Structure 1
Amino acid sequence: MYKCFCLLAAALKLQPWEEVAVRPFLEELKRRMEAKALRLQLLLPGITLETSRDAISRASVMVNWRRVEEDLGYIETQQDPEEQAWDLIDMLPVFYEPNMLDMPLAVLPRVSVRTFARRLREALRLDAPYAYELTAQLYGARDWLALAGPKRFLPIAEPIYRYGSGEVAGRPYAWLEPCAAVRQADEEFEAMAQLRQEVFQADLAQNESVDQPGLLCAGSVGATLHLVDREYDIAEWKARSTLEAIDKSYPKDCRLAPAPGSRTHLLYVRLKAVLYVALMYFDKNDEAEAERECLLARGREYRAEYEGLLKKLAPRNSKPNREPRFDWSTDSRSGNRASWLCLNASNTSLSTQLRAGWRCASVTPGSKPRVHLRGAQ
């Protein structure tokens, strides 16, 4: 967690902890927060300084300004920020002070500032456009477009991946080229995942792909996390729905391997591996065999990656997670993914997810998977 904090701090142009004394560094962070609170008071007519400070605090996932002072006051040694890394990660966006050369922002600062803008909107109950324009001015930009750059719309009726073929070093390969909106969505999802603990990343992936299952990065992360949690039904559904959306652009009879060196192709092969493991677990042997053949053919250039993934995802004596998923009284964020599906059952597009959630709670598992692949080198 602390490594993640240091990575994000560097992306937001904060000086590493190791290079400065802790107390002066914390005073500088507090100064930056108070500067934004003062600027918010100037930009929002009628707001008091106290409310402005509390709004900035809530946009940083703190209850109020007093809690900010208390939490920063508890940090006295180098070990303290290491133990409180996730709390500090939520506060990082407010400390960011970009200059004009940084605009429009790179992907990690952009999603950080967008998260801050969303929280500020919720804290002050502002309309979304106004909250984002206000945030842009807090960060010294003319408007939101100048700060964050354009956000491309995601096509609904048209394919979001384009299939093609070509040669690399004289060998024929297939290509899956995402449209510009998908490429941006994948980049932003990877950046956003760095701001979330792993226990919440599956929910983040679900929210990202609920209306567009073909987003490879969210689909791959979500399916893999469910498989790691031994939620094999949900992992199968997630991998299958994402692959079905992508395979609309990928000819079924194509035997060409995806070209090497592509992040998109790696995510595609990872999803194939996740689906294969899930099918093997439930003894769906015919489907698993078909996926094995496809994985061998299409994953040729990514064999080391997917074989490592298979060893991790299908350990010996693996058992499914069959703990109750519909305990409405619990307040555990990590154990309510299926409950979340039920709560959203009124959305008809989630009916398949709901069925997957119920199966996760009730289906008797088959024998453990035995993952063994053979094929051409």
Structure 2
Amino acid sequence: MIDDYPIFMSYSVSSLDFVCEENQGYKYLLKSTTTTLVFGSYIYGYLCIELRRVSPYKYYYYLGTTVEQTVNEHIYGRVAAVTVTMTDACNRAEPYEDSSFIMLVKDGAPYSTLGEASCTGLLANYGSVTVKDYTGATSCTGSSVVGCSDRTRQQFTYASCATSMVFSSGGLFMCMRATTYGDYIYLSLWNNDTTVDDSSTFRFTCMAISYGGGNAFLTVHPRYCKDASQTATSVPTPGIIMEFSSQTETCEQIVDGATYVMYIVIILIFGPLIIFGILVLGYCCKKKGCPCSKTSTWCKKKGDNSSRVTSSYSERQDSVTNTVFKMKSLPPLWIKHKRPFGPIVEANMIKPLPKVESLYSNTKGARLMSSKSRKGSLGSLFSFNYKT
């Protein structure tokens, strides 16, 4: 739902509340929550917008509804009995001019710099600013503007200009979004005044900017840029015409100069170090092979004797006669070992073979084993293979 959207449907209605009636992609059809008495009929107001996201704090949209001549507003009005579709209300020719965008900024974002953008087209300081009304008949001189103290803000110092010709009491504007359309740069600005009255001061204004002879020529329209009818030298009412001259400094020169010095310092300091490192790496690769290659000795850990082992088994002679214990080298921890862990015991028959002795002693038939154990005996002593 949208509350208090500024739509002048009649002398008694200056804003409407809207709900979303239909949505198709970026397009939204909005319908007023109440009817309005216009020329003796109660009608609903419909508004088509195309909404785009810039950041979590900032959006912009285009009005997809043409201006209704009877009220001079972007509104589509119909009596309650008439069904209105998106095709009916979205009657503005497409594609929309890039210059005709309207900003939406999250409450509080401009004051915390979350919605600001570079003031493209006005990155300079000017010692003289001339202001004229939209007809060019009334003018005011002696003002100045600073755009380089902060590249996202414009600070105007007004001389004796009439209130209706400045659109701000404090003169501080924050840049919200810039786009180029045709021969002009269109820049949306947020007025940093604590309060605005929407008659002489406005929260949003839009500038159309061009250059010539070292000066900046621009027009300013309240709320949003007035489609293609606003250029750098012409603007509909209640817009104003401005000219910035006596340029004292450009922000690009300051930034580019600092950047150039920084690049020189980086090259002088780190350039020789990088070249030296490459030479050392090349020498070491030649002597020891490239790091971690098959022929390299770089990756051998201290005490690693794997290069001297010809078998995957390490052997040791155990105290058990005729038996050799062989321990297979352990695999890395991250590889599943399919075999149970433990030694592999294999028979190692010593030549000549040992004498086979009877399980019985030579003493008058006395048995060394019980009758139960004798039943399962094999009759001779061997060493066997087993695995644990």
Q: TM-score with structure 1 length normalisation? A: 0.22
Give the structure with the larger strand fraction.
2
- RCO higher in structure (CA 8 A, sep ≥6): 1
Larger radius of gyration: 2
Q: TM-score with structure 2 length normalisation? A: 0.22
